[in-house]
Amino acid sequence: MTTFELKKLLISRIKEINDTSFLNEIKSLLESKSSEKMLVLTSEQKDEINKSKKEIKKGHFIDQSELDKAVEKWANEK
């Protein structure tokens, strides 16, 4: 059986299952074996990322090294 055929068979069999607890176990198993973890973002998080990208394009950012220097200067003034 090819990988494609096996996937098709599994999908077909899963569609027949109505036991929520069993489906959750399958989900957990699949998530533990997944090579890529999918990060799910809220719409607010997506909006913030898009706003940040626009700010970066406008040049409104500070390099980490510059920020480190500013923080160190601030900390030494206290």
pLDDT in tens, 34-55: 666 677 899 999 999 999 999 9
Q: Is the pTM of this model over 0.75?
A: no
23 touches 17 (CB < 8 A): yes
Q: From its phi and psi, is residue 59 left (phi > 0), alpha (psi between -120 and 50) or beta?
A: left
Q: In the chain, pLDDT over 90 holds for what percent of residues?
A: 77
Q: What is the DSSP letter of 17?
A: -
Q: Which residues, at least 6 apart from 49, have a Cβ–Cβ distance to it below 8 Å? A: 41
